[in-house]
Amino acid sequence: MTLFEPMGKTPEPSAAAGFVPSQSEDDVARYLLRPLFDDRRETLLLAGFDAFDRLLRLECVDGDATGRCVILPRSWRALLGGGVRAVVMAHNHPSGIALPSDADIGATHDAALFLRTLGIDLIDHLIFVADGHFSFRTAEML
């Protein structure tokens, strides 16, 4: 008997596969995104790039009282109105645990589907902690 996994099942995240230590971060993660996070509360950043990998827009979404970040339509409109061809999502986990939650995984896949319908690529979703970040792309979850 052969068992088949259901179509569309999200792979389980692997800490080793998706974790990038801070000393190995690329310039975008180290110099553009990391300095914008506060260690005390969760914040989400949406970075929009043009076809030549130039940063066009950076949207910041602060977490609510529960710590959850909700991307409102006005944030998407502000980000996507002006030649954006690629998006990087990034947020921090003040808890220090880099693994994505079920909500993180769901939000990433919803954003990727939404952007794909507009012809825009979701390049990666990064989850920052003090000693590095988790990359959905590196973990092959995108």
Among positive and negative, which fits the CA dihedral 128, 107, 10, 112?
negative
CA distance 17 to 116: 25
Residue 12 pLDDT: 53
Q: Give burial (CB, 10 Å; 0-12/13-18/19+) of 51.
A: exposed
Output DSSP code: residue 114. Answer: H
Question: Token pair of 46, please?
Answer: 């949406």
Contact 44, 61 (CB under 8 A): yes
Residue 6 pLDDT: 53
Candidates 3.20.20.370, 3.30.950.10, 3.40.140.10, 3.90.78.10; CATH matching 24-135: 3.40.140.10
pLDDT per residue, tens digit, the chain (142 aa), is: 454 555 555 555 445 688 999 899 999 899 999 999 988 888 899 999 999 999 999 998 876 555 566 788 888 888 888 899 999 999 999 889 999 988 899 989 999 999 999 999 999 999 999 999 999 999 999 8
Residue 65 pLDDT: 52
Distance of CA 47 to the CA centre of its chain: 9
Residue 40 pLDDT: 84
Residue 1 pLDDT: 47
> What is the longest distance spanned by two Cα atoms in the chain?
53
Listed in sequence order, the residues at least 6 apart from 1 whose beta carbon sits closer than 8 Å to its beta carbon are none
CA distance 138 to 142: 9
Residue pointed to by tokens 């792979």: 11
